[in-house]
Amino acid sequence: MMNHQVTKAPSSGKLSLLLGVLLSWWLILGASAAPPREVIANALVAEDVAEQAKLVGSLAGQADPLIPQLLAKWKESEIYIYEPTEPAGPKVAVLFVGEKDADDKFAAVRVDTGEPLKDKDGKPMRLTTDEATSADTDANLRLAMKVVLDLIAVADPDPAKRLKVVQQMGLDQDLEKLPALEVRVAGEPDAKVQRALKEAIALLQLKSEDPAKQIAAAKTLATLGSIPAQDALKTVAREGSPPVAAAANAALAEIAKHLQLVNTYGTVFRGLSLGSVLLVIAIGLAITFGLMGVINMAHGELIAVGAYTTYMVQNVFGPGLALSPFGMKLHLPGFGATGAAYDAYFIAALPLSFLMAALVGLVLERGIIQFLYRRPLESLLATWGVSLVMQQLLRLTFGANNVQVDSPAWLSGNWTFFDVIFGWNRVFVIGFAIAIIVGTHLLLTKTHLGLLIRAVMQNRQMAACMGVPTERVNMLTFAFGSGLAGLAGAFLSQLGNVGPGMGQDHIVGAFMTVVVGGVGSIFGTVISALGIGVVDQSFQQILGNPVLGKILVLGGIILFLQWKPAGLFVTKSRSLEG
């Protein structure tokens, strides 16, 4: 490779010939011991994808700390390929270092030597990102990189990384790696990695020639309840000798039992998290509809307001946002934050979505709903109209397409205990729901405003006689319920679509939850949300069919309301007094 490049380079006379010969010698002698950074540099400029993967693969087994650094940079397209034009020369892989200067130029460092890139006069060069193309990768190349990085990572100080590597090695079932794993198992301090090592060793031993070892391995896998081992065990059960196959089948039965338990716990967790999502969506409605008796069809759009606020906050933290509401050109400048600072946008977005939705709710209450407190049908029609207007406003401001909301890194990951996935976003929503419920409960029972709210909801005339400013209490209560809808929107942006029509997707679920729980009872809403969540997930798990599961849940709710039309918890409230 290198030899080829040198002879292609413009050269004159003997000197270059000598150089060429010397280099080829050096290549032949030292090819196997070529420093990793040179191998990577060669791979970077190689034309053929397969050649790239081969070169990277040749690094396997080396532990140079430079390797992970350079490969990580390559993966993120932070390495650039520069093709000198005057004089034309072979491609060079370079890294950009330092800050860019006034001309948008960076100092360039050669990947193969680690020294600055020099021009024909030997002066260090500075380049813009446009003068070089960034090196990219494909899946095969990344796989080759992974193999190299794996071997380095087995000895990685970070247990999480070790764990991943060990698991992958087990799945690969490459018997040659067995000694390396057995060496590690003795000295491994981390319990999880220890378990993974045992699993991996057993998986490798399934491939062994010795039936006794295979049977022992199958037994180990059974006691470990190893889900990944199922495929390998099935193969052994099919192809192994009768005693081995019997052991494999026994192990499979054991794992199936374990799996059933995992799925049961998993279903409960998923049900609770789905219930929490429903609860977060419905809690605002439980106040405006449940306590105040306003049938607010625009509740979904208040959720959308919260979601779009999150979108705006995200863009203000990031690159800024250009909007064109009603043909006006509006530009929100951005901080251009990255990494953890950018991820913090969600923290800022939560209170802002609450405030924004509360504000919209306030305007809605003052503008329309205050005139309709005793006329539920008209308030239904009027708020439905409002919801259409708000959807169109969102469409005109943000466009008809859905918008992208990124999940912060700390919401996009998971803990896995006992093979059950606890997604951070799901754990967060459960915590979030608890916080909202506790907050709402405290507000209603422990504060002065809460006392007034309860008084007005129970008997408006009486409260007014006692000097309670019912108008103001109504206004604040409605704004509070709307704000909770906004919070729900902020959270939903982490789970699903943010678009002008998103409110419509959630309004039915919200009303359903409140009605099943019993209009007017916050506690009922909590129970009904969690109940619907767990039942829905259980049906999905048992039937293996989300469509059928949904239908059954809805059918069940219809029957339930036939039996108990007022919901789970019947509360006396104004709306029922008529």
Partner 1 sequence: MKLRKFVALTSLAAAGLILPATASAADTVKVGVLHSLSGTMAISETSLRDVLLFTFDEINAKGGVMGKKIEPVVVDGASNWPLFAEKAKQLLEQDKCAVVFGCWTSVSRKSVLPVFEKNNGLLFYPVQYEGEEESQNVFYTAEAVNQQATPAVDYYLNAGKKKFYLLGSDYVYPQTTNLVLLEYLLSKGVPIENIGGGFKKDESGKIISAGKYTPFGHTDYQQIVSEIKQFAAGGKACVISTLNGDTNVPFFKEYAASGLTAETCPVVSFSISEDEFRGLPAKQLVGQLGCWTYFQSIKSKANTKFITDFKAWLKKSDVTGIVKDGRVTCSPMVLSYDGVYLWKAAVEKAKSFEVDAVRKELQGGLSFDGPGGKVTTQKNMHLTKNVYIGETKADGQFKILKTFDGVVGEPWLKGKFKAK
| Contacting residues toward partner 1, per CB under 8 A | 136, 138-140, 142-143, 146, 168, 171-172, 227-232, 234, 259, 266-267, 270, 273-274, 277, 399-407, 411-414, 416, 419, 421, 423-426, 494-497, 499, 505, 536-537, 540-541, 544-547, 550
CB 230, CB 255: distance < 8 Å: yes
CB of 427 to partner 1, least distance (A): 10
Q: Are strands 414-417 and 126-127 parallel, antiparallel or unpaired?
A: unpaired
CB of 230 to partner 1, least distance (A): 6
**398 or 480, CB closer to partner 1?**
398
**76 or 378, CB closer to partner 1?**
76
Residue 195: both structure tokens together: 């378990």
**142 or 366, CB closer to partner 1?**
142
**126 or 426, CB closer to partner 1?**
426
Residue 33: both structure tokens together: 């011991």
CB of 308 to partner 1, least distance (A): 13
CB of 548 to partner 1, least distance (A): 10
CB of 328 to partner 1, least distance (A): 14
Residue 536: both structure tokens together: 């829905």
* Number of alpha carbons in the 13 Å side-chain half-sphere of residue 229: 37
Nearest CA-CA partner of 487 in 523, 532, 449, 433 = 433
**203 or 283, CB closer to partner 1?**
203
For residue 87, is the peptide bond before it cis, meaning its omega torsion is within 30 degrees of 0?
yes
Q: Which residue has the tokens 């999940």?
A: 407
CB 154, CB 61: distance < 8 Å: no
**62 or 168, CB closer to partner 1?**
168
List, in order, residues 6 or more apart from 550 with CB less than 8 Å away. 536
Q: In whole angstroms, what separates CA 290 from the centre of its chain? A: 34
The per-residue b/e assignment along 397-414, b for 16 or more CB within 10 angstroms, e otherwise, is ebeeeebebbebeebeee
CB of 401 to partner 1, least distance (A): 5
Indicate the helix (H) or strand (E) that contains 424: helix 424-446
**Cα–Cα distance, 476 to 490 (Å, whole number):** 21
CB of 489 to partner 1, least distance (A): 13
CB of 482 to partner 1, least distance (A): 22
**420 or 515, CB closer to partner 1?**
420
Instruction: Report which residue type is found at 187.
Output: G
State phi, psi for 118 to the nearest 5 degrees.
-115, 150
